[in-house]
Structure 1
Amino acid sequence: MSEAPYTVATMPTARQAGCPFDPPKELVEAREHGPISRFPFPDGHQGWLVTGYDAVRAILGDPRFSSRKELMRHHPLVDFGEFEVPPAPPGEFLLMDDPQHSRYRKPLVGKFTVRRMRQLTERVEQVTAEHLDAMEKAGPGVDLVTAFAKPIPSVIICELLGVPYADRAVFQDNIDKFLGGEVDDDELIAAYTAVQQYLAELVVAKRANPTDDVLSDLLDTDLTDEELKGMALILLSAGFDTTANMLALGTFALLQNPEQLDALRADPELADSAVEELLRYLTVAKQFMRIALEDVEVAGQTIEAGTTVILSYATANRDPERFSDPHRLDLRRQDGGHLAFSHGIHQCLGQQLARVELRVALPALVNRFPSLRLAVPAGEVELRPETADIYGVKSLPVTWDA
């Protein structure tokens, strides 16, 4: 008979004061009690919270756990009552299982290979240099989020999708609203609707006048305009928000770990491992959910069919059974294999693009401004709320010696 599991009574959201890079301490404590805990959802559903690396990875690779949106009837923070969750809209494949998921993902795989993304390096270097030049020209004292972290991935993903440069700012604003966790429901719906409407018009424009971009490349498939719109929304949101927050939060983490920052400046060959370690250490995509389609045993516990499971990527990437001294940022770390890009059929399609952007932009920033530092005490850096889909900083005031 298996041992009674530990229970996490409510989903912890607050991070410890002075520890903006660490998961909430209650999640870390849950992991210390074992890789899987009971979790009573606000609506009374008895689910599970998985915090251990091996258990999270196993579930992500197991087709007996579903990502289908219409099965996500329970929320860790909100009681939906009798509300029926609809299926994911056409093309929004992150919330689908195979074969629907593969139908949308397969045409995209060849667009985001390691080789093709590395071919973008020169363009990423150019865009990065342009924004560093603008920072230098403006002089010391900027918000790194608006001057650097947001515009670089925004320019690149918009170019990949064929979105006109002039429309980029509108996208940034609306994506911030429906992913940032800070606006009310009416504003969130308005922002989401605005992006949907724009992308619908963009698909029609591409049909009439294809250009050299990923969206135009998909016109030769059997995908409908509605499906293309949904796919574009997924690519745009994921390709912008996650990397933008990694650039800003990654810089913050480096500034708070000066010995690691010095190592990155001193050794250009360290860039690759530095990016992987920052992805592990920060894990800006904190958690996702899955639904058990049948009874499955995980880490000695039976997860019953129909049960909702919360997968904590943040604690899995800090699991001491997988990573030595996991709460320490170590850019020379050798025990890789993090889950920051997930695992299994839903592993992040754009992970190679994100790696190229981070590998280019972070070293370029810290080398262009050797005296880069926070312009406010670290405790005054404003963080995104834990309710945001992607964790990060709202702003990062920095300065340097002119």
Structure 2
Amino acid sequence: MAQVEASSSPRIPTVVDKQPSMEEPSSVLVTPCDPWPRPYFLGNGLRRVAPYHFTYNTYCKQRWRGRELLDVFSSEFRDRPLEYYKDAIERGAVVVNGKQVPTPNHIVKNGDVISHTLHRHEPPVTALPIAVLHEDDDMIVINKPAGVPVHPAGRYNYNSVIEIMRAERGHAWNPLPCNRLDRLTSGVMFIGKNPKAAEKLSLQIQGRTVRKEYLARVKGEFPDGEVVCDMPILQISPKLGLNRVRANGKAARTVFKKLAYYPDTSKNQLSETGYSIVRCLPVTGRTHQLRVHLQFLGHPIANDPIYANRRVWGSSLGANDGDGLQDTDEDIITRLSRMGKSEVADAVAYHDEMVDEYNKKKAEKMSGELCDVCQTPLYTDPGLQELTLWLHSLRYEDAGGSWSYVSPLPTWALPPDGAEGPTEVGGMEDLVMAVKEVNLEIT
């Protein structure tokens, strides 16, 4: 369910703006929705947001008409227990048309505006700064840290690239992202300073005249030379955002080339066979394309919580399984859907013997404590493995050669202590040549 912030700030539109104005909220509804300055504070390498009250407004949807208010919340908003919503309605934290309702069994009607004020707790993100690689009158090129979402979404609001940059540059400043990276992915991003510049670059990216190069840290020793993966990708679970190589999927092409290989020196019989740093040139732009293709090639991203998880994919991790012969899609979806924050099911828990070591790591899960203000169950801080995916947007460049931006290598791609290896990456000519040699059009 999409909900919209009820804000006194003119820069944040709401669905209410396009509907008949609702009555002034009664005194039961608390609506401080746009705290400034942002309530950030730093600690233990994390950027935190002090809990704050926040109000969501939404108009009654067709499927809600004639239903009880508590029933709507219990079925549509399942991030909190039923008891919370019943109490919130009774004490006026949930109101209809700005007024407290007499009972949680209140019937919702067409045109009703439902408002929910809650004490919002955002997850912490890394305290690493958003580094600026280039800036001019129209555009800012940044090196996005891993673990920070680009836009406010879900449990994240002020802990997002958009809001962090706004906090640094002023309340009225409106950053306009031209490309997007997943929350756990780091690297090059473009932030437009004005709509015209943002639209121009966005159209250029959509027009497929921009080349992108990524770095990944993968399991095992990746093959030498240029490796082209031309396997179609199918979304097998929209709900879980899960994708897989399938013959009936959408065409997907990636060129890979090993940058370095670092063998394991721990002499631990349970350890993996070292890892490789791999350059990735996505020729197409499918969801999770690099993660899925690397998994299919037998070299998944080493800390990928989904595609390198043996609890989900089994011992083979889905390598070369383009027909679902090893595990059906239903098997994979069922296993993934069972995973929870309190279950030892992350990518590092490959072997039973490693579970104890995993449990020593800090993982984001329920702490058993409650908020003093709202009695919301609190999470522990996320561990490093929940803030970083070893996938980095290294370079963006115009196919015509008019501009190119490259970021420094992330720390996980640098040679480990005591080893020699590359600390920077050359141009993309060899990867582009590999595309041309197999007659693949960059799309």
Compute the TM-score of the two structures, normalised by the length of structure 2: 0.27
* Structure number having the greater strand percentage: 2
Larger Rg: 2
Higher relative contact order structure (alpha carbons within 8 Å, sequence separation ≥ 6): 1
Compute the TM-score of the two structures, normalised by the length of structure 1: 0.29
